[in-house]
């Protein structure tokens, strides 16, 4: 097995508290389940050409166009949307996981290259940069910029290229298992993140740094 030279982080659920927490709160108000509402707002697990959230993540439409496009998805699920769901999801209200951010610099000091690999919108770029700081990363790979979203293979290829390492020299942390499958297929090592303590402990096994 090749030695790890690059550590790549997802954003939601890895560097900040999970977006699903907000969806869970909204689901209660809509009298539905978190999974059902997640499917309606953020689209299906598989990356398809049609869902407006997916399209915005690929830079094909603006954020303002997502909510008006959700009608058919809500109708199919039998859910009535209030009209402010995407706005609520976009307004932040998450916690930045400072201990994970701090570890990125520790990894760099130990000689690893660092990457951010995120499905995201152009409109969200200034807030994400302000909240976590793109300066921590050697490569920032945003879906709207590369016009491909996880789990589409092209965004993983772009990440490897920007980091200038081999696929088997990368370890990747993501909280959505569907986003880990293509990484595994390319030969990356992966960590399915469930929380900051778990992710940092798992990372120390695969990409060790000297303990203080």
Our CB check for Mg ion shows the closer of 12 and 52 to be: 12
Among the candidate windows 26-34, 95-103, 171-179, 202-210, which touches Mg ion by CB under 5 A? 171-179
Among the candidate windows 105-113, 141-149, 170-178, 181-189, which touches Mg ion by CB under 5 A? 170-178
Please list, in sequence order, all residues whose beta carbon lies within 8 angstroms of the beta carbon of residue 87, skipping any fewer than 6 positions away: 67
Contact 59, 147 (CB under 8 A): yes
Contact between 85 and Mg ion per CB under 5 A: no
Among the candidate windows 97-105, 134-142, 152-160, 172-180, which touches Mg ion by CB under 5 A? 172-180
- How many residues belong to the site for Mg ion (CB under 5 A)? 4
Q: How far is the CB of 174 from Mg ion (least distance, A)?
A: 6
d(CA 209, CA 35): 37
203 class by beta-carbon count within 10 Å (0-12 exposed, 13-18 middle, 19+ buried): buried
Contact between 175 and Mg ion per CB under 5 A: yes
d(CA 98, CA 108): 16
Contact between 59 and Mg ion per CB under 5 A: no
In this structure, the dihedral spanned by the alpha carbons of residues 28, 32, 35 and 37, taken in order and rounded to 10 degrees, is -90
How many angstroms separate the Cα of 151 from the Cα of each of 32, 49, 157?
A: 26, 13, 11
Q: How far is the CB of 212 from Mg ion (least distance, A)?
A: 28
Site string for Mg ion, 129-168 (x = CB under 5 A): ----------------------------------------
Contact between 57 and Mg ion per CB under 5 A: no
Our CB check for Mg ion shows the closer of 81 and 173 to be: 173
Q: How far is the CB of 27 from Mg ion (least distance, A)?
A: 18
Contact 170, 4 (CB under 8 A): yes
The 8-class DSSP code of residue 15 comes to T
By CB under 5 A, what part of segment 10-29 binds Mg ion?
A: 10, 12-13
Tell which residue, 121, 126, 119, 122, has the closest CA to residue 141. Answer: 119
Our CB check for Mg ion shows the closer of 92 and 166 to be: 92
Q: Classify the C-alpha dihedral 90-93-98-99 as positive or negative.
A: negative
Our CB check for Mg ion shows the closer of 80 and 175 to be: 175
Residues at the contact surface with Mg ion, assessed by CB under 5 A:
10, 12-13, 175
């Amino acid at each position: 097995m090749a030695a790890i030279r690059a550590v790549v982080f997802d954003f939601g659920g890895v560097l900040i508290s999970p977006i699903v927490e907000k969806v869970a709160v909204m689901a209660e108000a809509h009298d539905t389940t978190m999974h059902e509402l997640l499917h309606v707002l953020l689209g299906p697990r598989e990356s398809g050409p049609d869902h407006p959230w997916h399209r915005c993540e690929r830079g094909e439409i603006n954020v303002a166009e997502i909510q008006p496009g959700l009608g058919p998805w809500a109708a199919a699920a039998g859910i009535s949307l209030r009209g402010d769901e995407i706005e609520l999801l976009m307004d932040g209200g998450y916690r930045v996981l400072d201990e994970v951010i701090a570890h990125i610099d520790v990894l760099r000091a130990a000689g690893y290259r660092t990457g951010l690999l995120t499905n995201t919108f152009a409109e969200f770029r200034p807030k994400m940069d302000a909240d976590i700081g793109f300066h921590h990363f050697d490569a920032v790979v945003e879906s709207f910029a590369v016009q491909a979203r996880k789990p589409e293979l092209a965004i993983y290829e772009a990440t490897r290229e920007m980091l200038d390492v081999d696929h088997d020299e990368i370890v990747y942390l993501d909280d959505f298992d569907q986003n880990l499958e293509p990484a595994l297929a390319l030969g990356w090592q992966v960590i399915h993140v469930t929380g900051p303590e778990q992710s940092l402990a798992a990372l120390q096994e695969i990409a060790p740094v000297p303990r203080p």
